[in-house]
Every structure is written in structure tokens, then in C-alpha cells.
Amino acid sequence: MAATQSSPPERPGFDPQTGVLVPIASGLARLTAPNASPFTFTGTNTFLIGHDRIAVLDPGPDDDAHLEAILAAAGHRPIEAILLTHTHIDHCALVPRLRQRTGAPLVFGGRHRLSRPLKFLERNPFAHASDYALVPDREIKDGDRLEYGGVALSAIATPGHCANHFSFALDGTDTVLTGDHLMAWNTTLVATPDGDLAAYLASLDRLEALPQTRYIPAHGGEIADGPARVRAVRTHRLMRNGQILNALKSGPLSLSRLAERIYPDVTPRVRIGARRTLLSHLEYLESTGALRITRTPWSLRASLMER
């Protein structure tokens, strides 16, 4: 899931070839699901990892055609694992049916959980977009090594978009599968309480430090110079912090009024995502002592800390 169209996109030509198996590297191929939307771009990218045996990473939405495309792409190769970057339903809704058809174990970073507890009377507007019921057969930890069909992976914990998000580096190659943590077409949704900006920024640092520099995201096309994209997104997030602090110089603002100033051109369909990402920025700035958030059961206001 991406955030808003007010973020800095890189839009190289990308043909998803929906439903067609597209080779990416040795032992790695992509199938794009037919679930294009403002939050998923051209659709969720499902990846087949391995040679004679395979793992399926992020099966995607509960879609008949996509399920059959995955099974057809696997052919006679056994599917020995279903792997997830995280548990948003555009990545995992197909899991129950794929498990039923293949018997493959489910591997991911633990049950879906919020990045922080809900505040008093707070509602998580994206609760419906996550699967809280999925339980892994194997719960991976940061630094775990996995191998499927001769392809070795390192599991890299990259929380921020959500608490159980993982990226997967292909050992001995220049390639890392970044899930929703980093994409070329837009910046990632970091919607509190599901997401957390401090964790997201720390995960950007982890990603940039990897030896792999070619990033393959779960939506859209590859990022050839991954570290450069990390730096651009980090700069954008810090710029957004500056915008917020500048807007508050004229006095306290409610979340809705602040969102109108920061995201003046956002479309109604993604407005709630923009506001929750903005709230992530506010909570991050509050943690640094730059501003104060005042909450009531009916409203939220931000104001600069007095110096």
C-alpha cells in the first residue's frame, strides 16, 4: 500500500503483464495480481522463488484467476512454502486457498499486530485491511536464513509500514525483495497505529546498509539504485516533518485542518490514508519534543512546544 499522490514518485515505465510469469533473476519470477487500485498501483506482485522446488511470496488477493495463475506457473514444481512480507490482505487473502490446494506451510513474521496500542476511544480505520487471524507455521526472526529450491534468502525485519513487515535479501546476489517498505511509484503508507514512522525510518537505514542494491517491491517495477531511492524517501519524510512544524507556527491545528494544508490535492479515496500517515509524523515529532498532541474523545490538535 502506498500513501498519497503528494509524495515524490518515480514512475519509470512498468508493464505488469498481469497473470503472466515474468522472470526477474535466476530462481526468481513475478506474477502480478489483477487488483490495481490507488493503494496497490498496478496490483500486488507475487513472487515464485526457487528452481526445482519453489516458495510463493505474497500470494495476493483472493482471486480465482490469480490462484490458477500461481499453480500454472509452478507447474510440476512442488510449492514447499508460502512466504509473506506482511499480513495486509492485498498480500495474504489468497493464503487459505493456496494452502488448501498445496498443503504448503506458511512462513512469516508473526501474527498481525499494531505498532502501538490504541488510544482511548481510538479506532483503527485500516483494521479491515489486515488479517489478524493468520498464524504462521514457522515464525521468522530478523536474520533468519531460508532456502527454497536452491535459492537462499536472508530475512530482514523492516517494520514501519506495519509491525510484522519483512524484506528478503537473495544471498549472493544484488537483489532484495522489499515488500511494501520501499517502492518506486510512490511512498509507503505509514498509517498509525498500524504503522510507525520512527520504525519506518530505522528500517530505511537497515535497507540502505545491505550489500544488495537492486530492490524489487511488491507493487510496481524494480528500483535499480535502491540506496538512492532510500535517500530520496528519507529526505521526503524529513521534509514533511519540516512542513508540519512550519504550518504550526501560526498556532495549533486540528488533524483535519493540518491535513488540508499538507495534502491540499489529495483525492477523497486516499484521504484517510493521508491523515493517518500525517498522524504518524505528528507522533514522531512529539517523541522528539518538537510538538505536543492534545487528544480528546472527539478531536486531536497539534501545537508547537514552547521554547
**Whether residue 159 sits in one domain with residue 29:** yes
**Whether residue 269 sits in one domain with residue 167:** no
**Whether residue 189 sits in one domain with residue 47:** yes
Beta bridge partners of 48: 29, 56
Residue entry with cell 499538507:
262
Asked if residues 47 and 28 have their Cβ atoms less than 8 Å apart, the reply is yes
Domain boundary, last residue among 225, 252, 287: 225
Asked if residues 91 and 44 have their Cβ atoms less than 8 Å apart, the reply is yes
Burial degree of 97 (CB within 10 A; 0-12, 13-18, 19+): middle
Per-residue pLDDT of the chain (307 residues; tens, 9 = 90+): 555 444 444 445 789 999 999 999 999 999 999 999 888 999 999 999 999 999 999 999 999 999 999 999 999 999 999 999 999 999 999 999 999 999 999 999 999 999 999 998 888 988 999 999 999 999 999 999 999 999 999 999 999 999 999 999 999 999 999 999 999 998 999 999 999 999 999 999 999 999 999 999 999 999 999 999 999 999 999 999 999 999 999 999 999 999 999 998 887 778 888 899 999 999 999 999 999 999 987 889 999 987 6
Residues 6+ apart with CB under 8 A from 264: none
- Nearest-angstrom CA–CA distance, 219 and 201: 20
Domain boundary, last residue among 199, 225, 251: 225
Strand order of the β-sheet with 253-254 is 253-254, 300-304, 291-295
The CATH number assigned to the domain holding 288 equals 1.10.10.10
Domain boundary, last residue among 191, 225, 259: 225
In a domain, 11, yes or no: no
In a domain, 264, yes or no: yes
Distances (CA, A) of 176 to 28, 89, 205: 11, 22, 14
DSSP characters over 97-138:
HHHHHH-PPEEESSS---SSPPPTT---TTGGGB-SS---SE
- Nearest-angstrom CA–CA distance, 66 and 62: 8
**Whether residue 185 sits in one domain with residue 86:** yes
